[in-house]
């Protein structure tokens, strides 16, 4: 089929497209600050990264460590894309699924990786 993937049958055939965003309600237990961080994660565009420090500045909190802890407590890491947050020097840092999975997710999104870690 020319490299395209098709799903469905009969009159319900639809071309499958890669999902780059998730727009669904999320109810997760966490502090008010954690929810602010998790909501900010949803604004990081597919195929891009940001740093813990930049995310903290965006939220008005200069402490990247607090952002890192909230990021680590993310209960649904693909829906709330914490893999898009990297260290200040461009290094891969903590990810619940492991750094190899984080690297794979970023590569899958087309992020140019000259990242260490």
Residue 109 placed within a domain = yes
pLDDT tens by residue, the chain, 117 residues: 444 444 555 445 555 556 666 666 667 789 999 999 999 999 999 999 999 999 999 998 777 888 999 999 998 888 889 999 999 998 998 888 899 999 999 998 888 666 555
* Residue 39's CATH number: 1.10.10.10
φ, ψ of residue 29 in degrees (nearest 5):
-75, 130
CA distance 86 to 99: 11
CA distance 14 to 63: 46
pTM assigned to the model: 0.75
Helix-helix angle 32-41:64-72, to 10 degrees: 80
Work out how many domains the chain is built from and give that number. Answer: 1
Residue 39 placed within a domain = yes
- Residues marked as catalytic: 82
Residue 21 placed within a domain = no
Residue 22 placed within a domain = no
State the DSSP H helix or E strand holding residue 7, giving kind and residue range, or none if neither: strand 6-7
Paired with 85 in beta bridges are 50
Residue 24 placed within a domain = no
């Amino acid at each position: 089929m020319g490299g395209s993937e098709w799903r469905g049958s009969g009159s319900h055939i639809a071309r499958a497209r890669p999902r780059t965003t998730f727009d669904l309600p999320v109810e997760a237990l966490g502090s008010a600050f954690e929810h602010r961080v998790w909501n900010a994660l949803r604004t990081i565009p597919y195929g891009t990264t940001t740093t813990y420090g930049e995310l903290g500045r965006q939220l008005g909190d200069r402490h990247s460590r607090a952002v890192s802890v909230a990021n680590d407590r993310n209960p649904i890491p693909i829906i709330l894309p914490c893999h898009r947050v990297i260290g200040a020097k461009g290094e891969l840092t903590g990810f619940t699924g492991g750094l190899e999975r984080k690297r794979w997710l970023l590569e899958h999104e087309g992020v140019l990786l000259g990242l260490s870690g």
